[in-house]
Amino acid sequence: MNRTQFAGESSEQLDEGDIGRMLRELLLAYARGQRVETIAVVGNAPMAPDAARAALIDGSDLVFRMTTFALDEPAAEPTYGRRTDVVVIHRGVVVSPYTFADYTSRLYLLAEPGRLFWEPETLPDWWPADLGFVPISNREFVLPLSELLGLSRDEHVWATTGTLVTYLCRQLFPDALVRLTGVSIIERPDQTDFEHAWGDKVGVTAEHRLHAESKLLSTWRDSGRIEIIQ
């Protein structure tokens, strides 16, 4: 895939909703059997071994992972699963050994809410030279999610990547079962650090409002819009 900005903010020639339809068709191409009835959104929080959970992740029609994620090694107890169809990344990511492994078989989506304010368009030096990406449209996804969270469009605030991906899946595949796992926000909205399944913990940055995200994710869970897998 060539580097493209068809889903970015420069695509003013596209009508309302075209970006979503195009992204949905692209995601379908990476799904098992080109259908999406079940989706796994796998966050980066550490999880205890659980073979049933790992099988549920790998058995989904479409598996999303984010930024500095971990995968099960062949000899390890099943925990996180191994299947990865879509990777959602941002320019400030700390790259794990799995982030770009087998990247030619995956779709890479670039979350760039900082482009609304200060973030440059240039890619980091560590980005593979032959890897294309599709930006997640701020207009179609980031800003509407911010409104749901009660965040101001004028402040440097936006959702974490996991909540953004969950929202994107619900918008693009409203009839699919979306399972969210590997997240700590719902139970721990007061945390100041994110523990990662791979690598060191990282601080919760100033642009996030975890209490708002915890409330929204809990509402989606309680209404059946998503399923939380521990």
Q: What is the pLDDT of residues 93-114, one digit of tens each?
A: 889 999 999 999 999 999 999 8
pLDDT computed for residue 16 by the predictor: 60
* Residues 221, 213: Cα–Cα separation, whole Å: 12
Q: Could you tell me which of 43, 48, 44, 41 has the C-alpha nearest to residue 62?
A: 41
DSSP state of 9: T
How do residues 162-200 score in pLDDT, each as one tens digit? 999 999 999 999 999 999 999 999 999 999 999 899 989
Q: Could you tell me which of 209, 179, 221 has the C-alpha nearest to residue 43?
A: 179
Instruction: Give 38's strand partners.
Output: 177
How do residues 55-95 score in pLDDT, each as one tens digit? 999 999 999 999 999 999 999 999 999 999 999 999 888 89
CB 66 within 8 Å of CB 180? no
Q: Is the pLDDT of residue 156 over 60?
A: yes
CB 226 within 8 Å of CB 178? yes
DSSP state of 136: P
Question: Which residue, chain included where needed, has tokens 């009835």?
Answer: 37
How many residues would you count in the chain? 230
pLDDT computed for residue 2 by the predictor: 35
pTM across the whole model: 0.91
